[in-house]
């Protein structure tokens, strides 16, 4: 039952993220990623940008551009040069 709850929550978060990105770019949400890609994301539950590269229908450019935000939905770790971000925490690197 916990997996179903996680998937439902993830689906809501992914849909909200796609809508926000589309609004910011002034495009239709399906131009960000299709409903089919959304389903693939929910099945794969990627935790890294590299995981996203394996999602059929998600271009490399979109995986790189939107990847950190997508990965955060699934609790993955996003690392930049100065911070490490998880879904619930922002940590400064030592």
pLDDT score recorded for residue 85: 44
d(CA 78, CA 12): 20
Q: What are phi and psi of 52, to 5 degrees?
A: -65, -30
Domain that holds residue 82: 2-92
Q: Are 32 and 38 in contact (CB under 8 A)?
A: no
Q: Which two tokens stand for residue 10?
A: 């993830």
Dihedral, CA of residue 60, residue 51, residue 44 and residue 32, to nearest 10: -30
Q: Kindly report whether the global pTM for this prediction surpasses the value 0.75.
A: no
pLDDT score recorded for residue 70: 93
Neighbours of 89 (CB within 10 A): 9
| Structural domain count of the chain | 1
CATH number of the domain encompassing residue 88: 1.10.150.80
Per-residue pLDDT of the chain (94 residues; tens, 9 = 90+): 444 445 667 889 999 999 999 999 999 999 999 999 999 999 999 988 889 999 999 999 999 899 999 999 988 655 444 444 444 444 444 4
């Amino acid at each position: 039952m916990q997996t179903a709850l996680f998937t439902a929550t993830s689906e809501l978060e992914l849909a909200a993220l796609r809508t926000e990105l589309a609004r910011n770019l002034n495009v239709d949400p399906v131009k960000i990623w299709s409903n089919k890609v959304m389903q693939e994301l929910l099945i794969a539950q990627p935790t890294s940008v590299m995981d996203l590269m394996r999602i059929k229908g998600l271009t490399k450019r979109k995986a790189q551009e939107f990847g950190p935000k997508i990965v955060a939905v699934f609790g993955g770790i996003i690392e930049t040069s100065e911070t490490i971000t998880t879904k619930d925490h922002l940590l400064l690197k030592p």
